[in-house]
Amino acid sequence: MKAVYVEQTGGVENLKYADLPKPSPGAGQALVKIVASGVNYIDVYFRKGVYPAPPPIVLGSEGAGTVEAVGPDVTNVAAGDRVAYAMARGSYAEYAVVPAWQLVKIPASVDFQTGAAAMLQGMTAHYLTHSTYPLKPGDSCLIHAAAGGTGRLIVQMAKMLGAHVVGTVGTEEKAKQAKDCGADEVIIYTKEDFTAKAKGMHVVYDSVGQSTFMKSLDCLRPRGMMVSFGNASGPVPDFAPLILSQKGSLYLTRPSLANYSSTADELDWRANDVLNWIGQGKLRLHIHKVYPLADAAEAHRDLESRKTTGKLLLSVS
């Protein structure tokens, strides 16, 4: 089967598009014929070696397609089911073996591209706004990269929950898009200091990391919650907990979707909310571009160059 993988971690030039053996499902696993694969920042981290894995590292942690076969002890899905999933690596390929409990059946009304686009960023926005810091009416939140794939979904869910949303973005065009998603205020943080405008926040959702982390702490009210959930500008350097006390007895967490979708019930709750809201028109996805699987390197280049807004997908079959 065709797959995109790295033997040696590094730049996009290390991505290989070549044949690998088609995997077969073991106990508790399903073989999915991938139709669409989501591109996420986590793929960049695996490619670069920020998140280690044994080679060959087939990239992609999100996909949608049809179950072709199941291994022993699988009861929740069967051959022919239309499914989507996140947080099982290997979706930049024609076939992927996925733990069956992680598969969500998608309704006939949801096409494969939408299924693939919704899962990872949608469930992330869900856990951040509903579980890590459950927003309630009147709360104020700061959301960095608010026009990005994950950011724009956090903005929309925060508004659904009645919060006041301040977003940051890199450009004027992205500012328009963040407003369109419902952000009450948008700061272009490449031009202005966001700490001047974003003050007294209950929570900061920070996926940018190194370049925003310390300033984000200054935007919080005493006992506010700093949610550092990504490293788009690089990992946050070492940090003394005493700073949290000095800046107002702040809370800090560094969450991962894996720990917020660790049971079938929790995963179904999040995925079904996201898919239902999309179906009802309450949550809008924006597909930035669909690339052929062979052009995964171009998708990575675009994502890392901050040129994209919304979701990047690979069309696999």
Check residue 5 for interaction with ligand NDP (CB under 6 A): no
Cβ–Cβ < 8 Å for 126, 255:
no
Check residue 208 for interaction with ligand NDP (CB under 6 A): yes
Cβ–Cβ < 8 Å for 209, 231:
yes
User: 165 φ, ψ to 5°?
Assistant: -110, 125
Check residue 224 for interaction with ligand NDP (CB under 6 A): no
Residue from 276, 280, 246, 297 nearest 122 by CA: 276
- Which one-letter amino acid corresponds to residue 184? D
Separation of alpha carbons 76 and 115, rounded Å: 18
Contact characters 149-168, ligand NDP, x per CB under 6 A: xxx-----------------
User: 252 φ, ψ to 5°?
Assistant: -130, 130
Closest distance between ligand NDP and the C-beta of residue 261, in Å? 9
Check residue 122 for interaction with ligand NDP (CB under 6 A): no
Q: Which stretch binds ligand NDP (CB under 6 A): 72-80, 109-117, 205-213, 272-280?
A: 205-213
Q: Which is nearer to ligand NDP, 77 or 275 (CB)?
A: 275
Q: Who's near 9: CB < 8 A, 6+ residues apart?
A: 46, 47, 48, 49, 57
Cα-Cα-Cα-Cα torsion 305, 153, 212, 307, nearest 10 degrees, comes to: 10
Assigned token pair, 263: 């049971």
Separation of alpha carbons 69 and 29, rounded Å: 9
Size of the site for ligand NDP (CB under 6 A): 30
Q: Which is nearer to ligand NDP, 95 or 229 (CB)?
A: 229
Contact characters 296-315, ligand NDP, x per CB under 6 A: -------xx-x-x-------
Residue of the chain from 169, 203, 226, 274 that contacts ligand NDP (CB under 6 A): 169
Check residue 41 for interaction with ligand NDP (CB under 6 A): yes
Q: Which is nearer to ligand NDP, 147 or 203 (CB)?
A: 147
Check residue 113 for interaction with ligand NDP (CB under 6 A): no
Check residue 275 for interaction with ligand NDP (CB under 6 A): no
Residue from 295, 280, 140 nearest 202 by CA: 140
Q: Which stretch binds ligand NDP (CB under 6 A): 2-10, 52-60, 118-126, 261-269?
A: 118-126
Closest distance between ligand NDP and the C-beta of residue 70, in Å? 27
Q: Which is nearer to ligand NDP, 47 or 82 (CB)?
A: 47
Check residue 233 for interaction with ligand NDP (CB under 6 A): yes
Q: Which stretch binds ligand NDP (CB under 6 A): 71-79, 101-109, 226-234, 274-282?
A: 226-234
Cβ–Cβ < 8 Å for 118, 126:
no
Q: Who's near 245: CB < 8 A, 6+ residues apart?
A: none
Closest distance between ligand NDP and the C-beta of residue 151, in Å? 5
Estimate the crossing angle of helix 41-48 against helix 296-304, to 10 degrees: 100
What residue ranges bind ligand NDP (CB under 6 A)? Answer: 40-42, 120-121, 124, 145, 147-151, 169-170, 174, 207-208, 211, 229-233, 255-257, 303-304, 306, 308
